[in-house]
Amino acid sequence: MEYTINDGVTQSLLCSFIHCRQMCQNILDGWEFESPKRALQFGKLVHGLLENHYTQEEVDGEAYFRDWQKKCIADGDDVQAVEKDIAIAKALVDNYVPYWQKQDSKRTWIELEGVFDVPWNGFRLRGRTDGIYRTGTGGIWLFETKTASQIQDEQMEQRLSFDFQNLFYLTAKAQELGCRIRGVMYNVIRKPLLRQKKQESDADYWQRCADDVASRPDHYYHRFEVVYTKAKQEWFQGELLAKLNDFKTWLQGGAPTYRNQNACVGRWACNYLKMCAEGTDGYSKSKELFGELKD
């Protein structure tokens, strides 16, 4: 099925258009790289564990990890890499829970892993948020969790002050809930960077990582409370509307598609770098565009 603007716009799709129009076109054409990206898979695993924790759902841990491993391998992932992800994710979440327990006990969760699909200024905004909560005196907040190998606090605070994803989600959820959302609790979990020694077994390495997390929780867990004023949200919404209109004009053939060579390699290489350089070998067509919004 050919995509139209009526199918809706997610923040990731709009970001791809802003980043590189050729990248966006590849996504709309359904192209995806067959091998999963490690960081993305690890992040999904941590999100799943946290969702179980915050919903207080009793889960058979061994069965949960077994099903996760089975799914990842079926998707073409490496067995050893998946086993490492499971060991590290478990260590991080097991220590995360007691570390934030006192603070989290003061939150009243409105929703977790909520999918939204709302009309806004003639456009359909779609996405999934990690959580929405209410505090006793602080109003309604968005809760977003990210896994990262490195955290630079000063740069993080500056970037978050006008972060596109956060403000996109705030705009959509405010429309859906009928009230202004005060800000975002940006919850960052650092992934261990310890190197495995030459003669060290996988089990010993994973245990050493777990011990390091337990001994230095303040190194691995960071939260940034970001207040978005009414004026800042209105400023963002003006920019968002302009970007959505640019995207619509391009989609309808009113603007050209071209590569942004400056977007090919940054902190990570673009998923479509090989496609632009060599062709479609190693890529396949996905069945649906917004698969991340499915349960």
- The residue ranges of every structural domain in the chain are 1-33+241-295
pLDDT, tens digit, 9 for 90 and up, residues 3-28: 999 999 999 999 999 999 999 999 99
pLDDT tens-digit map of 165-205:
999 999 999 999 999 899 999 999 999 999 999 899 999 99
- From 59, 80, 58, select the one nearest 69 (Cα to Cα): 80
Chain segment 61-104, per-residue pLDDT in tens = 888 999 999 988 887 788 888 999 999 999 999 999 999 999 99
Q: What distances in angstroms separate CA 16 from CA 70, 135, 276, one per listed residue?
A: 30, 34, 15
Q: What is the mean pLDDT of the chain?
A: 90
End-to-end CA distance of the chain: 21
Hey, how many other C-beta atoms are within 10 angstroms of the C-beta on 170? Answer: 25
> Mean pLDDT over residues 251-278, rounded?
91
pLDDT of residue 153: 67
For residue 207, name the pLDDT band (cuts at 50, 70, 90). very high
Which long-range contacts link 273-281 to residues 24+ away (Cβ below 8 Å)?
Answer: 274/33, 275/26, 275/31, 276/22, 280/31
